[in-house]
Amino acid sequence: MMKETQREWRLTTRKITFERARIMAILNATPDSFSDGGRFFDLSSKNGIIDLNVLEDVAAQLVRDGADIFDVGGESTRPGAEPIDASEELRRVIPVVRALTRFNLPISIDTYRPEVAEAALDAGAEIVNDISAGRYVSRDDRFALVDERRSEEMAQVVVRKRAAVVIMHMRGAPKTMQTNLRPYDSGVVQETLDFLRQRRAAFVEAGVEPDRIALDPGLGFGKSYEDNFAILRNAGVFRSLGSPLLVGHSRKSFLRETAARYDVARNVAPDANVARLDALTAQTSVALVARGVDILRVHNVAATALALELARRAGAFES
């Protein structure tokens, strides 16, 4: 029997309910993210200082557009990205988290480092969005194997700070995850499901309350073009684990490739500019909500919010 998905997600100071899908707005405090790197940086400065006035203007517009959550990231996790050290990540994200607290929206910190998560939670964040699903081992600076015996460092941070957490599936590490892709032994959907079940159980065993956990199947993280669509078609399967489901599909390469294939079939030059990618993201958002996804992590909040409103009015889904 499928476990009923919880309809509330408990954060540090509040709860998020899912009478409708929620939109998580991406705010990358990075100079090199794949589609919006450097958005808030004064690149003329030697150290790349973040312009908080620009950031706050953008954040205010995201709130008007319909954002429900801010997601702050300080390290690019695009395929092939070089990692940065914890001190640089902290330098980038902590001022951003502090600046965003004035908007009274829940803030998520997109990090796999426990020390960065803890500092961001102290600065006002309430959610840890961990692409490694707690597998990063600080003392060794590596991503551990799933079945390896070790201290659950990230889970312990979440417990101490009474935070919420997003546990994501990723095969490999960002720098190499899209090189030498190989088929999933039991199929990408089943293997991702098994991984998320195992890591969710590990967080609960470490003391994280189940209603503080959300799950993300990790589109684009160690997955081929067809793998991503298998995840999309079967998104509802992950609800069987009982946690809210988050999907980050915004401007990803499988959307770009779909547009290119479509253009080639029509014998026109491929075109995948940001506006078109945002339209494709919004269209995909509607399909995901129809399959039971609770949280959509996107760059262009307005486009997705409008697409969901049109779909709701047309009867595609209740929320």
Report the C-alpha gap between 289 and 133 in whole angstroms. 23
* Dihedral pair phi/psi, residue 42, rounded to 5°: -90, 90
Report the C-alpha gap between 80 and 101 in whole angstroms. 32
Neighbour count for residue 6 (Cβ, 10 Å)? 18
Report the C-alpha gap between 71 and 77 in whole angstroms. 14
Report the C-alpha gap between 283 and 40 in whole angstroms. 27
* 24 Cα distance to chain centroid: 8
Specify whether 297 is catalytic.
Answer: yes
Structure tokens at 183: 């088929």
Specify whether 15 is catalytic.
Answer: no
Instruction: Identify the CA nearest to 76 among candidates 39, 105, 46.
Output: 39
Which one from 78, 199, 223, 252 is the annotated catalytic residue? 252
Please, what is the end-to-end C-alpha distance for the chain in angstroms?
A: 24
User: Residues 174, 85, 87, 109: what is their CA dihedral angle, to the nearest 10 degrees?
Assistant: 10
Which one from 22, 212, 223, 297 is the annotated catalytic residue? 297
Active site residues: 252, 297
